[in-house]
Amino acid sequence: MLELLLIISNVGTAVVPYSIHKRVHEAGAVAYVTARLMECTFIAIGIVCMLGISTLRQDALSGTTAALGQGIFDVYQWTFRIGPGFFVGVGNGLILGWLMYTSGLVPRRLALFGLVGGPLIIISGALVILDVIAAGGAVQIVMTIPEFIWELGIGIYLIVKGYRTSSPALAGTQEGVV
């Protein structure tokens, strides 16, 4: 259930600010929504894999169903490596970081965490996919820190302060409300 809520919130965090993001760069706004939808697709595939394994466990586990269950679990692991392990860097890090940096909707120093963290997530995700580093190992965790700060920071900043009303992206709106 939490994964389903994650999908809903991921789509919401891409679609709700779309009208503001397109004022900054329309193609960038579409790219951000697309990257979030790709991430959600991989999360949904992972959910289906877990449901498939659950269904297999209800059957008597023979050698064939155990092997099938392991195969489905492997697909689940790959969906996590590609979706949240790679596309987060593209969508939340690079695209959202760039949109926020160029728009001035949030402090530029904060947006820099996304611009640095995004490529690090992409690199660490690629290294895990290529089996150069361990998934969830120390190297990947360290490379995730700037993205973690970016995502936590932008969430807290927007809850506490909201968008900067002095941003050109909000010019022409009534008191910064869109």
pLDDT, tens digit, for every residue of 1-48?
Answer: 999 999 999 999 999 999 999 999 999 999 999 999 999 999 999 999
Q: What is the pLDDT of residue 176?
A: 47
Cβ pair 95, 128 in contact under 8 A: no
Chain mean position to CA 61: 35
pTM of the model: 0.85
Burial of 60 (0-12, 13-18, 19+ CB in 10 A): exposed
**Domain boundaries, given as residue ranges, for the chain:** 2-170
pLDDT, tens digit, for every residue of 93-139?
Answer: 999 999 999 999 999 999 999 999 999 999 999 999 999 999 999 99
Q: What is the pLDDT of residue 86?
A: 92
